[in-house]
Amino acid sequence: MDSSDAASGGPAGAPLVVVANRLPVRCVEHDGEMRWDLSPGGLVSALTPALAGGAGMWIGWPGDGVDLAVPAEHAGIELRAVPLDDAEFEQFYLGFSNATLWPLYHDAIRAPTFHREWWYAYMSVNDRYARAVAEAAAPGATVWVHDYQLQLVPKILRAMRPDLRIGFFLHIPFPPQELFLQLPWRRPIIEGLLGADLVGFQVQGAASNFSRVARRVVGASGTDAVLDFDGRRVRVGAFPISVDTTALIKRASDPAVQGRARQIREELGSPDVVMLGVDRLDYTKGIDRRLIAVGELFAEGFLSTSRAVLVQIGVPSREEDPHYRREREHLEQLVGEINGEHSSVGRSAIHYLYQSVEVDELVALYLAADVMLVTPLRDGMNLVAKEYVACRVDATGALVLSEFAGAARELRDAAILVNPHDLDGLKQAIRHAVDLDPNEGTARMRRMRRIVRRHDVQAWARTFLAALHADSSHISTTPDPG
């Protein structure tokens, strides 16, 4: 392709292209009218400054069942939509991405399903994304490919546009080889990723898993940090993602949000202890273990509804997938049982909301919560843990954190770490958090706040892009304390 023909990003194309499964905008209703808004979330706020003002373009899917045309530009970011038809939604999104790769990469918590038709759809949608990037990118542009839905894009794109500098970042875990090797299409996936100049992961363990598999499956040579393959050098490293700490502190310091936090506590009956769980309703999040542990603490009398309450938000997700529907039924049954046995008139043991929550309400919930329960069975990072810490502007509050969340690598010295499979350990961790000495709690929270202040999402994006542009074979990433 003659890149001066690039259809977007100005006549010469975009110097920076971000490509992710989803666009950074979402279609929402305002006063009966549908319109596009920037999606909330760290990734969007991290990349907006670099992309705004014509400096870059974001390529992605507008979402399922959206009729409104995607604007060419929003909030200064050029947008290019990659639509999926119904079959692709089923086979690429629900199928290969979320019923093959998602469970396989999350320790096979649910059995991954291997279907050849899904794989064909994954190849063809990845090809479409890569073509969209090849058309939009300026000569010598930087391209940042995101996540498990697009692992073939780096290789396809490199073949079309060898002039590009290509980075890939995986937001979810990368499994150990014992699991990854099950994948019938393991070789093309690894070759796809090795099309990048830099492949980034949340934690060093995932980076090492990848390099090990690359040496074994495609015969790449080199260390966990630098691989040689197909006559090229590919760098590999850990870049733990974070949150927009400054923006969260600003919201958490807003008197209106703080007032709402006080109101939430009153609406809950002014208990001594508010515990909070906030998760996409996903079987990887370990919500059932958490509910069972809390239920047993109510049954044993350690918790009582005059003293404590759990607020559990389950944000609807991938509702077309039977695993997710079953998980919802399972959780709702558990909540019903626990509330039936332990609530009293006017006081529920668990307040369960199956809905999305706007950002100010979420921050008010974080401020209202004495104890935050983040107990996934496996999680690439888990930004809820970091959001909670960022919002605790008075340095109070306790974080119970699964050792299987990427966030535990950075927060492990100050969070109360737990193995979510161990119900007794989970109960003990919750007891510890509820009874935490206030001075110790503040000391722990201060340590965690220092970490999320220093390593915010802007620093993450800067570090990744700087490493992508570094010529040296050594990459310096955010320190992983172990």
Residues near ligand F6P (CB under 6 A):
21-22, 147, 171-172, 317-318
Pick 317 or 343: Cβ nearer ligand F6P: 317
Pick 119 or 169: Cβ nearer ligand F6P: 169
The residue sitting closest to ligand F6P, measured at its beta carbon, is 171
Pick 22 or 444: Cβ nearer ligand F6P: 22
Pick 110 or 318: Cβ nearer ligand F6P: 318
Minimum Å distance from CB 282 to ligand F6P? 8
Minimum Å distance from CB 172 to ligand F6P? 5
Burial group, residue 172, by CB count within 10 angstroms (0-12, 13-18, 19+) = buried
Minimum Å distance from CB 21 to ligand F6P? 6
**Cβ-based neighbour number of residue 64 at 10 Å:** 11
Pick 161 or 171: Cβ nearer ligand F6P: 171
Nearest to 253 by CA among 241, 245, 264, 243: 245
Pick 20 or 275: Cβ nearer ligand F6P: 20
Minimum Å distance from CB 317 to ligand F6P? 6
Pick 362 or 367: Cβ nearer ligand F6P: 362
Minimum Å distance from CB 146 to ligand F6P? 7
Minimum Å distance from CB 131 to ligand F6P? 21
Minimum Å distance from CB 318 to ligand F6P? 6
The answer to whether residues 399 and 416 touch, using CB atoms and an 8 Å cutoff, is: yes
Nearest to 293 by CA among 420, 194, 172: 420
